[in-house]
Structure 1
Amino acid sequence: MSTKIESKKVSIKNSTQAVFEFLNDFNNIKALLPTDKISDWESTVDACSFKIQNAAIIPLVKKSTTPHSKIDIVGGEKAPFPFTLDIFINEKGANETEAYLFFEGDINMFLKMMVVKPLTALFDYMADGLKVELEK
């Protein structure tokens, strides 16, 4: 059964190019995560993995990109279930960008009850973090 989670949409005072370039380097993803809830961080330009507190290791692998508008991510081989995570980047005007994350995962009903709320909170946290990082 497919589970879909969309983060909140954040408005960022920066260009779509700057937002895309930041997200296109997976070494930067760490800056978007709650440092008190993750450990075992590893990253390259095209992949990263981390352990969420009291949960599984989450490996993220860049699948494809559409310059300045979308980054398609898939779960790596050690993911607890198959999933995709797309990051959408939309131009809202001169030097203003809207961004959000869209997750779709194949999660069984038992696991779904436990992970939907924390995943929703994580993706909203990442969206907020993106705004903070790119408006410094």
Structure 2
Amino acid sequence: MNIESKKTILNKPAKEVFDFLIDVKNFEKLMPENTSKFEILDSDRFVFALKGMPEIVLKLKEQYPHNKVVLGAASDKLPFTLTAHINEIEDNKCETNLVFEGDFNPMMGMMIKGPITNFIGTLTDNMSKI
């Protein structure tokens, strides 16, 4: 399953957006309003839950300075990654988008496609407010 958010222009340098995203505690600022739990586990992992959904632990997996940040599920039960792409347009302007990639059976894919699409849409919208 591959879900891609819309591209968003941010009036921030790519380095500033990258630095924001590699600090996992900042993801609390991006979470939807229906977040029922958000807790930092260590410097590169956090757990969150949306109302009515199970808890998910995300771990900072890869970082490519100023261009890409990859978070992934800490558990193998639901294997997926959430990648933030950051493209510098000008000194103080960049374009971002999120890509969710997961390996799910067709039934699970049907159940989570809508909520995941809404979730990454909210994260993208909230990035424009940072």
Which TM bucket (shorter chain)? over 0.9
TM-score, normalised by the number of residues in structure 2: 0.93
**Is the aligned partner of 1:130 residue 2:130?**
no
Q: Deviations for 1:25-75, whole angstroms, at most 9, x for unmatched residues?
A: 00000111112x112211143111111211111111011111111111110
2:72 counterpart letter in structure 1: V
Residues 51-90 of structure 1: pairs in structure 2 closer than 5 A? 51-77=49-75, 80-90=77-87
TM-score, normalised by the number of residues in structure 1: 0.89
Q: Distance in 2 between matches of 1:98 and 1:7?
A: 12
CA deviation after TM superposition for structure 1 residue 80, in Å: 4.7
Residues 1-136 of structure 1: pairs in structure 2 closer than 5 A? 3-35=1-33, 37-43=34-40, 44-77=42-75, 80-133=77-130
What number of residue pairs does the alignment pair up? 129
Identical columns (%): 33
Name structure 1 gaps, 5 residues minimum: none
Structure 1 residue runs of 4+, over 3 Å off? Answer: none
Name structure 2 gaps, 5 residues minimum: none
Q: Distance in 2 between matches of 1:116 and 1:80?
A: 17
Q: Distance in 2 between matches of 1:125 and 1:74?
A: 18
Q: Deviations for 1:68-93, whole angstroms, at most 9, x for unmatched residues?
A: 1111111012x651111111111011
Q: Distance in 2 between matches of 1:68 and 1:91?
A: 8
1:17 counterpart letter in structure 2: K
Q: Secondary structure at the match of 2:129?
A: helix
Q: Secondary structure at the match of 1:123?
A: helix
Q: Deviations for 1:80-126, whole angstroms, at most 9, x for unmatched residues?
A: 51111111111011310111111110112112112101111110110
